[in-house]
Amino acid sequence: MPVLEFSGVTKRFGTLTANDSVSLTLEQGEVLALLGENGAGKTTLMNILFGHYQADEGTIFVDGKPLPPGSTQAAIKAGVGMVHQHFTLAGNLTVLENITLGTESLWSWRQETRTAREKLADMARDYGLAVDPDAQVSELSVGERQRVEILKALYRNARILILDEPTAVLTPQESEGLFAILKSLTAKGLAVVFISHKLHEILAVSDRIAVLRRGAIVGTLATKDADRAQIAEMMVGRAVTLPRLTPMEPGAAMLEIEGLSTTGGGASALRNIDLTIRAHEIVGIAGVAGNGQRILADVLSGLKGDFAGSVRLHGKSLAAGRPRAIVASGVGRIPEDRHARGMVGDMEVWENLISEDIRSREVSRWGLIIDRKRATARAERQIAEFDVRCEGPDAETKLLSGGNMQKLILARALSREPSFILANQPVRGLDEGAIAYVQNRLLEARQRGAAILLISEDLDELMALCDRIAVMSHGKLSEALPTGARTIAEIGLMMAGQDGDRQAA
């Protein structure tokens, strides 16, 4: 008998069907990978299992017994534990407090901290999950916080562990550590559901793969029988075309930075940066986060106006600190964090789409009154052109998946055919289909004659997409050499500050 069984589970948000009659089983001791693009309904399905959402139709069975819907408590009691993608921890409280919450009767007059400590120490030994129970969660690294989340589930005797995109925030080394932990857990009889859209991880860690597309299961297969291209195609629904850089002759200089420096901010302050990007050229900036990439992006997007040195766009001085003027001068901005800086989640899609040129004649009358009809019509065209999957211009933006939200940002930034594009981590957190889409759009812009600055922590991405690559470390930028002039290992060393004294932030 399977330890977990989904039977015809359907969930709708408005007119969007997030899960469409999903049936799925999980056996004891196995790692089941739940694979799918962003917005395919993986997290929704698991949130139904864990009682965050209630299914509209269908039943979930744990050990053959139906699980009461919509109750987190019932799910925990049945032995389900969930490690959420966005950790459910309180930073101002200690590890112990985060773990023991809800494990004792709320009406007890004291906390049994001693037995809790002993149990934690046992678990740390058994599973190799060591964390200081008295540490404040806010002081822990991301990897350690994830360990606390896993401990939280194990502490409550979870037998089915759900991990929602667990490696999204981990370094490659931390991911390896996580995989080892998962092996020791399944060896002890736990069943694991591993949600991801990274194919190589899934092939490395899972026993069986279930692929979700647009809310429905399109197939399950044993990992040993699976090959990469096949599951990528199952996931996306068509063959994925990987971006290919065709050599082009660069044109006139679009962006010229000379001696750019900023003050404050420690390791991230810019120190005397020089960089020129020409038309038909993608220049990549490699580096560990927190070495000045964000400050550089802020300067170029107009969010930071106080700096020394000169920044020129098509020969004219940059409108420092004036985002609207910068956008008007032909800059397309793809910000690092789509939720915090790219989009206003509580606003509608069309509102977000006009937010950068709200005063243009195209969407307003005399730059004063929004012309709702024309703005909506333009939004409809952009949604169609950039293949944004949403209910329409009036959809609430936060209901969109990450990939679709990013397409929306592309639509906003690229529709005006900017001559310089600032792309800061444009594919972070996206699935294979969306990544290929974003990258191909950037290549199209290059083809058209735009100059593109691509900031990324992913060296493979930079190698595949850039004409030249510069490395940023401690606020300094190396010379941008043609891709291939340096090996990945050399770039890695430069990212670490070359002299080796630099620790990853």
Partner 1 sequence: MSDLFEILLTAGFWAATIRIVSPLIFGTLGELICERAGVLNLGIEGIMTVGAMSGWMWVYQGGGLWGGVLFAAAMGALFGLLHAAFTVQLGLSQHVTGIGITLFASALSYFVYRMLLPLATTPPKIEPFDEVAIPGLSDLPIIGEALFNQSPLTYLALLAVPVVWYVLHRTPLGLAVRMAGENPVAVEAQGINVLAVRTGAVVVGSALMAVGGAFITMSWFDAFYFGMINGRGWICVALVIFASWQPGKALAGAFIFAGLEALQVRAQVLAGGFIPYQFFLMLPYIMSILAMIVMARKTKYPQALLVPFRRGERV
Shortest gap between Cβ of 201 and partner 1 (angstroms)? Answer: 24
Which positions ≥6 away from 3 have C-beta within 8 Å? Answer: 26, 27, 28, 62, 63, 159, 160, 191
- Contacts with partner 1 in 21-50 (CB under 8 A)? 50
Rounded Cα–Cα distance for residues 160 and 182 (Å): 12
For residues 107 and 366, which CB has a smaller minimum distance to partner 1 in the complex?
107
> What would the two tokens of residue 319 be?
């409108």
By CB under 8 A, name the one of 2, 7, 10, 13 that touches partner 1.
13
| Residues binding partner 1: number (CB under 8 A) | 39
Shortest gap between Cβ of 152 and partner 1 (angstroms)? Answer: 8
Segment lying near partner 1 (by CB under 8 A), choices 74-82, 167-175, 406-414, 418-426 = 74-82
Rounded Cα–Cα distance for residues 51 and 34 (Å): 18
Shortest gap between Cβ of 394 and partner 1 (angstroms)? Answer: 17
Segment lying near partner 1 (by CB under 8 A), choices 80-88, 251-259, 278-286, 378-386 = 80-88
- Inter-residue contact 169 to 149 (CB < 8 Å): no
Shortest gap between Cβ of 171 and partner 1 (angstroms)? Answer: 24
Rounded Cα–Cα distance for residues 160 and 153 (Å): 9
For residues 100 and 291, which CB has a smaller minimum distance to partner 1 in the complex?
100
Residue 16 CA, chain-centre distance (Å), reads: 22
Shortest gap between Cβ of 345 and partner 1 (angstroms)? Answer: 8
| 3 state SS for 77-113 | HCCEEEECCCCCCCCCCEHHHHHHCCCCCCCCCCCCH
For residues 99 and 451, which CB has a smaller minimum distance to partner 1 in the complex?
99
For residues 39 and 250, which CB has a smaller minimum distance to partner 1 in the complex?
39
For residues 145 and 441, which CB has a smaller minimum distance to partner 1 in the complex?
145
According to DSSP, the residues that pair with 451 across neighbouring strands are 281, 420
Does 152 interact with partner 1 (rule: CB under 8 A)? yes
Does 355 interact with partner 1 (rule: CB under 8 A)? no
- Contacts with partner 1 in 81-110 (CB under 8 A)? 82, 84, 86, 88-93, 97-98, 100-110
- Contacts with partner 1 in 380-409 (CB under 8 A)? 398-399
Question: Residue written as tokens 């005399």?
Answer: 366
User: Is residue 333 exposed (0-12), middle (13-18) or buried (19+ Cβ within 10 Å)?
Assistant: buried
> x/- contact string, 107-146, with partner 1 (CB under 8 A)?
xxxxx-----------------------------------
For residues 10 and 103, which CB has a smaller minimum distance to partner 1 in the complex?
103
Report the half-sphere exposure of 27 (CA within 13 A, side-chain side). 8
- Contacts with partner 1 in 156-185 (CB under 8 A)? 156
Which positions ≥6 away from 421 have C-beta within 8 Å? Answer: 331, 332, 333, 334, 413, 414, 442, 445, 450, 451, 452, 453
For residues 50 and 386, which CB has a smaller minimum distance to partner 1 in the complex?
50
Shortest gap between Cβ of 116 and partner 1 (angstroms)? Answer: 11
Does 70 interact with partner 1 (rule: CB under 8 A)? yes
Residue 60 CA, chain-centre distance (Å), reads: 29
Largest CA distance in the chain: 75
For residues 100 and 382, which CB has a smaller minimum distance to partner 1 in the complex?
100
By CB under 8 A, name the one of 7, 17, 72, 415 that touches partner 1.
72
According to DSSP, the residues that pair with 346 across neighbouring strands are none
- Inter-residue contact 434 to 441 (CB < 8 Å): no
Rounded Cα–Cα distance for residues 81 and 149 (Å): 9
Residues that bind partner 1 (CB under 8 A): 13, 50, 52-54, 70-73, 75-77, 82, 84, 86, 88-93, 97-98, 100-111, 152, 156, 398-399
